[in-house]
Structure 1
Amino acid sequence: MSRASILSAVKQNQPAQQALPELDAFHHSEAGDPAAFSRVVTFLGGQVIAIKSYADMLPLIQEHPLVVATHPEFYPAGMQNWQEGDGRQLEKVDLAIIQGRLGVAENGAVWVTDDELQVRALPFIAQHLAIVLKSTEILPTMHDAYRKIGGPDAGFGVFIAGPSKTADIEQSLVLGAHGAKSLTVFLMD
């Protein structure tokens, strides 16, 4: 059988079009629960620290030798001019502090985009990752998160949930296999 005849047969035997299911039943009008979000992040191996101001982050930040903060108010003493280069300038970053756009209570994920990251490699190349998130920006489910995100408004976006880990290498848990070894979410009231 030729390629053309196979493709023709496939084209002629398509199933009938079906309407997509209605997803309004999954929409929640209430805000997400910060306590539920915190429990899931902790279960995934991260930690959540409630803060009132950026100054509350200093005790944890000062433990790290090389810090990059995407906003100067997070940590003014952080590495300067870190956005310049192709990403390799970040290879020795011990802690990256980024802004989270929204959090999801059901799975502990935090949505970040190019606007928050400035350099896409930052949360994946740093040894440790801290995300600053407003407690009012927590949504109950991924359905609610996708509804809020809508269409793409940035060139890149990613949900980050917990520190990077894998257990497929000789069935041993390895932290930091594909990204940061630890995740701290600073939950701001």
Structure 2
Amino acid sequence: MTTREAFLSKIRAAQPAPRPRPEVPLFPTPEGDLKARFTAALIAMGGTCVDAAGLNDVNALLAARFPDAKVIASAVPGIDGTRPLAPDTVPASLQDVDVGVVRGRFGVAETGSVWFSEQEYIVNSVGYLSQHLVVLLDPALLVEGLQQVYRRADFTSARYAVLVTGPSATADIEGVLIRGAQGVRSLTVVWLA
């Protein structure tokens, strides 16, 4: 027996007996409208919320808010994009995307976060390599808090899942806040059923 095999054998032999995971309690949640709470939390994290009546409004918003955007990657049917997304798209090929457009599966009022899986992103790197991320979110799909997220069937069935809260940001020792240092520079949630 090699040293590696002996080492792993000792680890396997020392494992405790399996036991069920503890039940995560549902904590009391604040009163108030979920959409208003989500919006306040997202704004505190540097994000923006806007209302739209339909996909035409979203296309107009993209043209008005990002007039210099040359590459728009849209994972939402009906939203104009210049870069098509498909499951076989090479993730690194999205390195020059100015605006990524995706539909969030649901939002979390407690934190102002939006939940995505590989189904929403189509190509996971669109959520990180885009300069600006525009998220379509149905306000009826908001949950109270993170405890509800972990109870959802789509959370446990997704191969990949991420909660996104606002644009990427970092601050140095001097306290200078820089947006987009390690991800998207802006995050806009568009309320659209």
Q: Please, which of 92, 102, 105 is the counterpart of residue 106 of structure 2?
A: 102
Q: Which residue of 2 aligns with 1:43?
A: 44
Equivalent residue letter for 1:68: A
Q: After superposing the two structures, state which structure 1 stretch, 144-153 or 89-98, moved more.
A: 144-153
Shift in Å, 1:22 = 4.5
1:184 counterpart SS class: strand
CA contact (8 A) 1:40 1:108 kept: yes
Distance 1:26 1:90 in 2: 40
| Separation in 2, partners of 1:149, 1:27 | 22
Say which SS state the counterpart of residue 147 (structure 1) adopts.
coil
* Alignment pair present for 1:162 and 2:172: no
Deviating 4+ runs (over 3 angstroms): 17-25, 80-85, 168-171
Matched length = 178
In structure 1, what is the equivalent of residue 82 of structure 2?
79
Unmatched 5+ residue regions in structure 1?
A: none
Distance in 1 (CA, whole Å) between partners of 2:20 and 2:59 is 52
1:56-135 equivalences under 5 Å are: 56-62=57-63, 63=67, 64-75=69-80, 78-83=81-86, 84-135=88-139
Q: Structure 2-normalised TM-score?
A: 0.79
How far apart in 2 are the matches of 1:150 and 1:58?
A: 29
Q: Which 5+ residue runs of structure 2 have no aligned equivalent?
A: 1-6
Identity %, equivalent residues: 29
Call closer, same or farther: CA 1:47–1:156 in 2, change over 3 Å. same
Q: Aligned residue for 2:187?
A: 183
Give the distance between the partners of 1:93 and 1:20, measured in 2 at CA: 41
1:144 is paired with a residue of what secondary structure? helix
After superposition, the Cα gap between the structure-2 partners of 1:73 and 1:91, relative to the gap in structure 1 and judged at 3 Å, is: same
SS of the residue corresponding to residue 158 of structure 1 reads strand
Shift of 1:173: 1.3
| RMSD between aligned residues | 3.0
Query: Are the counterparts in 2 of residues 98 and 116 from structure 1 also a CA contact under 8 Å?
Result: yes
